[in-house]
């Protein structure tokens, strides 16, 4: 809900100058501000001879002016009259604070600007809505605070306290972008070549940190975003004691033994329309689910347990004190932290934030993920029937993954095996993305130009992961931008993206490191596995609740990706799996793939 505060005063009292300084002060503190200015006498926002003037004179009810810098809507008041402040406020887009200059007769709180040299008297003694005075000279005998007219910071602090703003200046955190990753962040210790999956994940987690800035947005637009700071309840939930059922309310202490017979008062208490007044002792009132408990009510009896007759209700004894009621704040107390910074916001979190009175929140900006394909053999799908060419399946897959992980997916296109073109593509991407994912060219062969270029001119670290599929994982920085070089085979690219890129991107975006949640199911297959590498098999759950695996483990068998519902993980050691043995199954959904 927008906060409203006014600046008022006589002519030449310094109102506009104070408004200007306050807007700059609040904006510097990270508070979004809009203003409303009351114009006097014959002042007009439009002038004779202008095209917009001609539109209005011709009879247009509203005229909108737009340029590359701003737009403005002019609404004709007919007959000419001052537009009501409430009407003007209703036309503003949501912000944290609206500062109103003028409109001194309206009942919102205000600070009065005062200059003694004008010879005008103070408005303040006559108007209780004026909460303080900003004066260019000392004033004595006033029953409200007096600030130096030029002490903008102190006046701003007072206004924020008046409107119930929860942050003080020490808590305001500007939109600071974290530093880039260190040049050696992906380096492995000397002598380490093959690295187990768990160790690789641990090293990756320790090497990265959030790289995104912050922005304030409306809660209803925050699905999939990551909180940049703790969310604190503005109001308790429930805000007041209320009824959990449809029934009849009364004071429990007025009951006596045996069957209870209570006279009903006129009226009722409904959600949003509370009973007015205090319930007399020994009486009952009709009350509906969610309605506030009137004064004098602490217990509600279900309507199904009541006989209603001749303006009285009757029910059996045994109703406990406080039955069928909810206490104020029994779910969440005002001022309580409801969500921690780093939380990724789903529909349930948006409900919680809205329910405790938060309409705007500070979130991380979306991580910009660029996806690049490379290789002379790669061509757009359907562009040729040449069997020597390979349709580009990885780029649409990786772009879809990035979008599904609530990142801003940026298509960097396809680059052939030319290092000058790869260099240009990386240079261009470094100015518009936060992280790059490539597919193909990540190994150390003579045609692996991505890894070669990153080794020559970036900070390349080739991690030989002890896993199947997806052994080579190229990690590098290009002009401070992290680069994930994924294998070229689609199956290996997907597995590496799910296991390594997904938690890393979430952390870079400002969220918590995310490990997938798996569960054990019986195997619907038999397999002998050699020690040394972790294996991920494309799998799905059959009607018996068993994990079936795809008919082939080949990294190029792309149909298995769609056939599967997830991955079976086989740990690093030697295994001999028989039908019915427990295996660990990770649904695609546990990797954020829906």
- For the segment(s) 3-38+82-171, the CATH number from 3.40.50.300, 3.40.640.10, 3.90.230.10, 3.40.50.360 is 3.40.50.300
pLDDT at position 111 is 95
In what helix (H) or strand (E) does residue 407 lie, and over which residues does it extend? none
Question: What gap in Å lies between CA 561 and CA 491, rounded to an integer?
Answer: 7
**Per-residue pLDDT at 466:** 87
Q: How far apart are alpha carbons 460 and 455 in whole angstroms?
A: 5
Q: What is the average pLDDT across 164-193?
A: 57
Model confidence at 506, pLDDT cuts 50, 70, 90, reads: very high
Three-class SS state of 166: coil
Q: What is residue 117's predicted lDDT score, i.e. its pLDDT?
A: 85
Which DSSP helix (H) or strand (E) runs through 313?
Answer: strand 312-315
Cα dihedral 212/214/219/223 (nearest 10): 0
Q: How does residue 289 score in pLDDT terms, banded at 50, 70 and 90?
A: very high
The stretch 29-36 carries a mean pLDDT of 86
**Residue 506 in tokens:** 């979430």
More confident residue, 452 or 591: 591
* pLDDT at residue 271 in the model: 93
Answer CATH for 519-591 from 2.40.340.10, 2.60.40.1730, 1.20.910.10, 3.40.190.170: 2.40.340.10
* pLDDT band at residue 586 under the 50/70/90 scheme: very high
Query: By mean pLDDT, which of 59-73, 176-190, 329-343 is the weakest?
Result: 176-190
Instruction: For residue 342, list its beta bridge partners.
Output: none
pLDDT value at 448 more than 70: no
Q: Which of 526, 580, 582 minimizes the C-alpha distance to 549?
A: 526
What is the overall mean pLDDT for the chain?
88
Q: Characterize the bridge pairing of strands 110-114 and 130-135.
A: parallel
Q: Report CA-CA distances (Å) from 583 to 201, 248, 331, 495, 498.
A: 21, 56, 40, 18, 19
Helix (H, G, I), strand (E, B) or coil at 441: coil
Compute CA distances 207 → 149, 184, 503, 559, whole Å. Answer: 51, 9, 12, 35
Distance CA 259, CA 147 (A): 66
- The C-alpha angle 301, 305, 310, rounded to 5 degrees, equals 90
> Can you give the length of the chain in residues?
594
Which residue in the block uniquely carries the two structure tokens 């240079």? 427
Q: pTM for this structure?
A: 0.66
Residue 257 main-chain phi, psi, to 5 deg: -75, 165
Give the domain ranges of the chain: 3-38+82-171, 214-239+329-364, 242-326, 368-508, 519-591
- Res. 268 pLDDT band, cuts 50 70 90: very high
Q: How confident is the model at residue 152 (pLDDT cuts 50, 70, 90)?
A: confident
Distance, in Å, from the CA atom of 393 to the CA atom of 95, rounded to the nearest integer, reads 44
Q: Which of 352, 96, 366, 363 is nearest to 232 (CA)?
A: 352
Q: Which of 521, 559, 519 is nearest to 538 (CA)?
A: 559
Q: How far, in Å, CA of 300 to CA of 286, rounded?
A: 9
Task: Specify whether the CB–CB gap between 490 and 397 falls below 8 A.
Answer: yes
Compute the average pLDDT of residues 141-160: 88
Which two three-digit tokens encode residue 115?
């200059």
Cβ atoms of 582 and 570 closer than 8 Å: no
pLDDT of amino acid 183: 57
Strand partners, 326: 242
Burial 492-519 (b: 16+ CB within 10 A, else e): bbbbbbbbbbbbbbbbbbbbeebebebe
Beta bridge partners of 372: 438
**pLDDT score for 413:** 94
Distance CA 458, CA 480 (A): 9
Domain 242-326 adopts which CATH fold?
Answer: Molybdopterin biosynthesis moeA protein; domain 3 (2.170.190)
The contacts found for 396-399 with CB under 8 angstroms, 24 or more apart, are 397/490, 397/493, 397/494, 398/371, 398/437, 398/439, 398/486, 398/493, 398/497, 399/371
Q: What is the rounded CA–CA span in Å between residue 25 and residue 97?
A: 12
Q: Pairing between strand 242-243 and 325-326?
A: antiparallel
- For residues 12 and 143, the answer to whether their CB atoms sit within 8 Å is no
Q: What is the mean pLDDT of residues 204-225?
A: 92
Task: Quickly tell me which residue has 């809507």 as its tokens.
Answer: 73
- Confidence bin at 375 (pLDDT 50/70/90): confident
pLDDT of residue 585: 98
Q: What is the mean pLDDT of residues 298-310?
A: 96
What would the mean pLDDT of 186-192 be, rounded to a whole number? 52
Under a CB-based contact definition with an 8 Å cutoff, are residues 362 and 214 in contact?
yes
Query: What superfamily does domain 368-508 belong to in CATH?
Result: MoaB/Mog-like domain (3.40.980.10)
C-alpha closest to that of 363 among 506, 509, 235, 232: 509
pLDDT class of 256 with cuts at 50, 70, 90: confident
Name the strand (E) or helix (H) holding 147. strand 146-148
In the predicted model, is pLDDT for residue 173 greater than 70? no
Of residues 435 and 60, the one with the higher pLDDT is 435
- Please give the backbone phi and psi of residue 305, each rounded to the nearest 5 degrees, phi first: -100, 15
Side-chain-facing half-sphere of 18: CA atoms under 13 Å = 34
How much of the chain, in percent, has pLDDT values that exceed 90? 56
Rounded distance between C-alpha atoms, residue 531 and residue 178, angstroms: 41
For the chain, the distance separating the N- and C-terminal CA atoms, rounded to the nearest angstrom, is 35
For the segment 34-87, what is each residue's pLDDT rounded down to a tens digit?
999 877 655 677 777 788 778 877 788 887 888 776 777 877 776 666 678 887
Provide the sign of the torsion angle of the four alpha carbons 187, 190, 193, 198, taken in this order: negative
pLDDT higher than threshold 90 for residue 345 = yes
CA count, 13 A, side-chain hemisphere, 452: 13
3-state helix, strand, coil in the chain (%, to 5): 25, 30, 45
* Residue of higher predicted confidence among 594 and 435: 435
Structure tokens at 510: 């400002």
CATH architecture of 214-239+329-364: Alpha-Beta Complex (3.90)
What pLDDT sits at residue 456? 77
Nearest to 155 by CA among 183, 125, 123, 133: 133
Note whether 254 and 321 are within 8 A (CB). Answer: no
- CA–CA separation, 405 vs 594, rounded Å? 10
């Amino acid at each position: 809900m927008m906060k409203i505060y006014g600046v008022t005063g006589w002519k030449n009292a310094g109102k506009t100058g104070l408004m200007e300084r306050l807007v700059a002060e609040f904006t510097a503190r990270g508070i979004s501000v809009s203003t409303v200015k009351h114009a006097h006498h014959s002042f007009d926002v439009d002038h004779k001879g202008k095209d917009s003037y001609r539109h209005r004179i011709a009879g247009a009810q509203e005229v909108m002016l737009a340029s590359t810098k701003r737009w403005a809507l002019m609404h004709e008041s007919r007959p000419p009259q001052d537009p009501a402040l409430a009407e003007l406020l209703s036309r503003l887009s949501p912000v944290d604070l609206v500062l109103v200059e003028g409109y001194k007769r309206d009942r919102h709180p205000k600070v009065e600007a005062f200059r003694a040299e004008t010879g005008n008297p103070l408005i303040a003694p006559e108007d209780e809505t004026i909460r303080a005075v900003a004066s260019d000279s000392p004033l004595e005998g006033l029953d409200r605070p007096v600030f130096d007219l030029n002490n903008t910071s102190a006046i701003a602090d007072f206004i924020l306290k008046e409107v119930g703003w929860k942050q003080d200046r020490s808590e305001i955190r500007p939109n600071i972008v974290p530093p880039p990753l260190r040049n050696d962040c992906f380096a492995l210790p000397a002598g380490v070549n093959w690295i187990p999956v768990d160790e690789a994940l641990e090293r990756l987690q320790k090497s990265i940190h959030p790289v995104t800035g912050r922005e304030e947005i409306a809660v209803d637009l925050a699905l999939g975003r990551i909180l940049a700071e703790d969310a604190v309840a503005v109001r308790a939930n429930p805000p007041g004691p209320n009824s959990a059922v449809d029934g009849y309310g009364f004071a429990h202490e007025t009951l006596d033994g045996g069957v209870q017979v209570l006279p009903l008062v006129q009226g009722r208490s409904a959600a949003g329309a509370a009973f007015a007044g205090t319930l007399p002792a020994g009486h009952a009132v009709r009350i509906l689910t969610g309605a506030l408990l009137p004064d004098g009510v602490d217990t509600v009896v279900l309507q199904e347990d009541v006989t209603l007759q001749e303006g009285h209700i009757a029910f059996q004894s045994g109703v406990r004190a406080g039955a069928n009621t909810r206490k104020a704040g029994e779910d969440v107390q005002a001022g309580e932290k409801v969500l921690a910074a780093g939380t990724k916001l789903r529909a349930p979190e948006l409900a919680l934030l809205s329910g405790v009175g938060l309409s705007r929140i500070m979130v991380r900006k979306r991580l910009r993920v660029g996806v690049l394909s490379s290789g002379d053999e790669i061509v757009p799908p359907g562009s040729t029937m040449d069997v020597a060419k390979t349709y580009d399946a990885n780029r649409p897959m990786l772009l879809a993954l990035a979008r599904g992980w609530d990142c801003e997916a940026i298509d960097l296109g396809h680059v052939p095996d030319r290092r000058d073109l790869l260099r240009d593509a990386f240079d261009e991407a470094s100015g518009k993305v936060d992280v790059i994912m490539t597919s193909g060219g990540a190994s150390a062969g003579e045609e692996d130009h991505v890894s070669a270029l990153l080794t020559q001119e970036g900070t390349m670290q080739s991690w030989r992961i002890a896993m199947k599929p997806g052994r080579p994982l190229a990690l590098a920085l290009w002009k401070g931008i992290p680069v994930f070089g994924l294998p070229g085979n689609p199956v290996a690219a997907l597995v590496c993206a799910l296991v390594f890129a997904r938690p890393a991107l979430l952390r870079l975006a400002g969220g918590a490191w995310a490990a997938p949640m798996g569960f054990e199911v019986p195997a619907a297959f038999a397999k002998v596995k050699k020690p040394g590498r972790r294996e991920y098999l494309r799998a799905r759950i059959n009607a018996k609740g068993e994990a079936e695996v795809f008919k082939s483990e080949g990294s190029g068998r792309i149909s298995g990706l769609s056939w599967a519902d997830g991955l079976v993980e086989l740990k690093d050691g030697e295994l001999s799996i028989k039908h019915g043995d427990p295996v660990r199954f990770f649904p695609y959904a546990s990797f954020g793939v829906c």
